[in-house]
Structure 1
């Protein structure tokens, strides 16, 4: 939609939504009186989370009925929010919002409030009249709902829009929907990996627990604002939490995140600032995958900036069995899932456009103390499910009845944060060596900022199991790119941790490349 056309209908849209809500006020779930029409600030969310943590968890599942019942993927996508019903359209700013329908995977009630410029919170009650239904998928007779059916329905989330690519188009830049998941984009990127509010027992054989954002408070932006603030209440059987997101969309989309957690139970296995992505294959290792494309992934590597200023690069893998890795640290400077290959030829997928998937960098804004950056890699035989998770795991448990505060940034961009004083890994390639069927050649391409002489570099890769047979360095035709190669003979059936970097005059001048050999 052209922004000029949308703004012209903005006031009408606000009126329409208000009329729809008024018509259904007595037919949908009653408004939440704990915050409705009252002064709101983040302290209220903190108090609410603290209070709820002393009570048992109460789920709030929707009762899907009528047109929202038994939706498959195509039918759910056939329900679209009417842009002329945007709740934010009456104000003089460039932000807009879509409310998202219930159904398919999304069956938990999400309460959504607008906080006006006087700090008054007002709940947006659910109305099916703000949606258009694809006439090719939904017969007109399917829209009739009884009062009881309407009472069982609610929102499943929301998305926000802002003109990040040009001044004429309202680009969606973030969507909050499903448990505590949210996704965002930066300029000239497409949706890819997701973030979450909190991870609990990820990879645990007993099963993972998925906290959910049950309520959101969206602050109406000031005139001409370039940022928007969202508060959220997190709930699960094990924990409650209060979250504040200050979001700045643009060339890089920046989230300032503040959260306070109140464990209902002692949490031994938890993840702060979790990121979730998909990795199927790449030239790093593609095993026996028969595919016309060169690579298929939303993210290609985990980057870590440690508290001691080390720069680590761990190429992602699609293992044969689930793998859990932990990179121990003290007060990390940052970590993230990164997509560095940015040319179409890297993927050759004209539909998915993996070269446009964003990278996300987590930058702590408070002391996170001792712990580890965790990486979970789950086997997959397709590209349709996320199979990579990373997060910060503290070395001590979150104790029941205590309060824990975390502050960090999420930076969504194309290439991720650059290393200031280290050459970055541009690519990794692993394949069987011509020197023997039980030997593998591993190539690591390091891209420097300035031309470099390979005679001044030292390359000494290591392996915890197996044998490094030979090494050599080659200056590629690509500007300031050095290929570091070695042959590796693994021990059959044994895991091995591989490590490599380049050293000049006794100092590491590149990221340290890490890889887990699994077969």
Structure 2
């Protein structure tokens, strides 16, 4: 398959053609699906949980994929030529109900997805049929005659016809967020993401039961299946200043999992202000999200800027009884991106708020090396402290908010931008392997303070030596700036272990900002300094 080089064109047509191939390659895991008889059957969330529990007690049985040779021929271009016929749309012309259209199967979406409609506690299957689609002559999709399911579905606005949510690929889904601009993704479950023993397992949503509401809300029930897990999901979606989803899930493990990722978020980060030197690109920044935000059970707020690391990295942050976490897009100025095709400044942040106490565990951040913007290379999820063993059951509930900013109002200053440059003092000889770290933060909680009022920045480093810092309000602006030098000249030239910085702003021992955790790599720092005029 030939991919178009410009991600702008790809993303413009992604929903229209079901082109979610930007997501990681999916594992070959399916489920057996009985043939539909067209009859309504009783359905409830309890029935779905029983179904998942019963499946977990049996050996995994992958379904036979119908017409595999035909599916292989339905590549990106052929798939994009297939158009759903709008007269077959679910809940079309039903007032404010959100219409639903299915995605056609193809090379990148081979597993059959069964879709059912719900009414008064009864489920009726929406069967796959070729005549629901316009397929050009000569397109290999015309030969797909034995499949029993779709690839996923999209949900539209009743008035505008605009897509506002889509489920496609493994257990992934996306929404338009607060701005009408699709960006990062979420999924039902992550299993063994970026572990040394690999490979990662991608559970699938194999069946959906859809229940619309008169006001345009939609509740999707989903059955999750994979070789080592089954699950029952209820995803209730509403739109108000973004897309807000109440997710309830019951998971059953039929095998051990080294890294079990709950409420996983998936995004893209290539470069921003602090790592501009890693990319040769005309735009100032390219990312769907620029940081991981965590609110711990103890009340600490953590900000971790994202990286495009020199090698794949996984970091864990202890978060017992975590209050929330999310992949956030804090930079909202178009001038910082200059891309009027994909509008990174409009990409939604995704915030996970546990409903109930999740107990002991950590937030895991996975950052994969990337050389461009066409692949999602960031994953954030919550990982239970208890070993994920066969036979374990997990009952979880959380609120997922696709919004402009964190829905929890901060009482302290938050970091808005981080920049790196050559250390030292202008006009004086620059010492080798010394950088300057400059962090801008808003003035929340710092109102009324001035440059002589004793506001300080505290910095600790896992390696290298931080210099004395300074923090002050920026003249003529409404934000503050903290800056300090970091000397890493004592590190061996071949030592590329990450330097972990921890910093916050305080006044007389009282923290006045969130805590920033910044991870830097000596190889990237030396590359930056070598290219400094």
Task: State the TM-score bracket (shorter-chain normalisation).
Answer: 0.7 to 0.9
SS of equivalent to 2:145:
helix
Which residue is 2:315 aligned to? 325
TM-score, length-scaled by structure 2 = 0.85
SS of equivalent to 1:240:
strand
Residues 365-376 of structure 1: pairs in structure 2 closer than 5 A? 365-376=355-366
Pick from 98, 103, 106: which aligns with 1:103?
Answer: 106
484-493 vs 352-361, greater mean Cα deviation: 484-493
Contact (CA 8 Å) 1:301, 1:316: kept in 2 or not? yes
Change (3 A) 1:507 1:144: closer
- Does 2:204 align with 1:212? yes
SS of equivalent to 1:47:
helix
Distance in 1 separating the partners of 2:326 and 2:343: 21
Which residue is 1:515 aligned to? 518
SS of equivalent to 2:276:
coil
Distance in 1 separating the partners of 2:69 and 2:63: 19
Unpaired runs of 5+ residues, structure 2, are 1-32, 425-429, 523-533
Deviation at 1:66, TM superposition (A): 8.7
Which residue is 2:450 aligned to? 453
Contact (CA 8 Å) 1:61, 1:109: kept in 2 or not? no
Pick from 31, 51, 58: which aligns with 2:61?
Answer: 58
Contact (CA 8 Å) 2:114, 2:148: kept in 1 or not? no
Deviation at 1:226, TM superposition (A): 4.2
TM-score, length-scaled by structure 1 = 0.87
Which residue is 1:337 aligned to? 327
Residues 41-440 of structure 1: pairs in structure 2 closer than 5 A? 41-64=44-67, 69-89=72-92, 91-116=94-119, 118-133=120-135, 138-139=136-137, 144-145=142-143, 149-152=144-147, 154-162=149-157, 168-205=159-196, 206-221=198-213, 223=214, 225-434=215-424, 435-440=430-435
Which residue is 1:501 aligned to? 504
372-381 vs 244-253, greater mean Cα deviation: 244-253
Unpaired runs of 5+ residues, structure 1, are 1-28
Distance in 1 separating the partners of 2:301 and 2:139: 60
375-384 vs 423-432, greater mean Cα deviation: 423-432
54-63 vs 200-209, greater mean Cα deviation: 54-63
Deviations 1:207-233 (A, max 9, x none): 101100000000132x3x242111000
281-290 vs 386-395, greater mean Cα deviation: 281-290
Change (3 A) 1:98 1:272: same
SS of equivalent to 2:245:
strand
SS of equivalent to 1:188:
coil
Deviations 1:100-127 (A, max 9, x none): 10003100010100012x2210011101
Deviations 1:15-71 (A, max 9, x none): xxxxxxxxxxxxxx86346x9511211111101000000111122353347975512
Distance in 2 separating the partners of 1:278 and 1:115: 35
Which residue is 1:484 aligned to? 482
296-305 vs 258-267, greater mean Cα deviation: 258-267
SS of equivalent to 1:330:
coil
Deviation at 1:141, TM superposition (A): 7.4
Deviation at 1:140, TM superposition (A): 5.5
Deviations 1:382-421 (A, max 9, x none): 1101111110001002332232101101100122335421
Contact (CA 8 Å) 1:189, 1:358: kept in 2 or not? no
Contact (CA 8 Å) 2:178, 2:402: kept in 1 or not? no
Pick from 24, 33, 40: which aligns with 2:43?
Answer: 40
86-95 vs 202-211, greater mean Cα deviation: 86-95
Distance in 2 separating the partners of 1:316 and 1:41: 41
Change (3 A) 1:36 1:511: farther
Contact (CA 8 Å) 1:31, 1:125: kept in 2 or not? no
Aligned residues: 476
SS of equivalent to 1:460:
strand
Contact (CA 8 Å) 2:89, 2:101: kept in 1 or not? yes
Contact (CA 8 Å) 2:290, 2:305: kept in 1 or not? yes
Contact (CA 8 Å) 1:64, 1:103: kept in 2 or not? no
